[in-house]
Amino acid sequence: MRWREICGIAIMLCTFGSVAQAQSPYGIGRPATSAEIAGWNIDIGRDGSNLPNGSGSVSRGREVFAQQCASCHGDKGEGGLGDRLAGGQGTIGTARPIRTVGSYWPYAPTLFDYIRRAMPQNAPQSLSDDDVYAVSAYVLNLNGLVGADATLDAKSLAAVKMPNRDRFVGDARPDVKK
């Protein structure tokens, strides 16, 4: 080999070797920044902890739902390409349960969390917090859990008692943390 090629290879190995060592034992990645972590730290507790400021009405939710959700979930949450969202009350204990927000979900704040994090499917996290409150209000209204004139915010959403809240059974295995 020529002297220049040998020196070039040696310099590349030293450069990439030191970079890899600084990054991780595998030579890839880096620690996440505080800003990156904050961008994904958006979970909402079942008790409503971490719900953001804002509010949304059933009527506004009807509009947003028609624009962003109905193409998959149907005009009234009856399902289609996406899951059925409304109805099914009283079917959970039957041979053919219909699992919807109103029949199956135990906590209303988790509806906000799911909509904000994952919907609409083609543009997750694109709805404003006010629009997520509004869509949550509309879906809860479709299930008869809030009135047509309801406006939800952090306090009122956390106060909604879902019909299936007390029907979930804990996992009694000793290796499962509660």
- pLDDT tens, residue by residue, 151-169: 999 999 999 999 999 888 7
Q: What number of residues does the chain have?
A: 178
Any bridge partners for residue 161, and if so which? 107
Per-residue pLDDT of 107-140, as tens digits, reads: 999 999 999 999 999 999 999 999 999 999 999 9
Question: In this prediction, what percent of the chain has a pLDDT beyond 90?
Answer: 70
pLDDT at 102 over 70: yes
Whether the CB-CB separation of 108 and 51 falls below 8 Å is answered with no
- Rounded to an integer, the average pLDDT of 42-68 is 96
31-54 burial code (b ≥16 CB/10 A, e <16): eeeeeeeeeeeeebeeebeebeee
The answer to whether the pTM exceeds 0.85 is no
Choose among 154, 166, 148: nearest CA to 48.
Answer: 154
Query: What is residue 11's predicted lDDT score, i.e. its pLDDT?
Result: 57
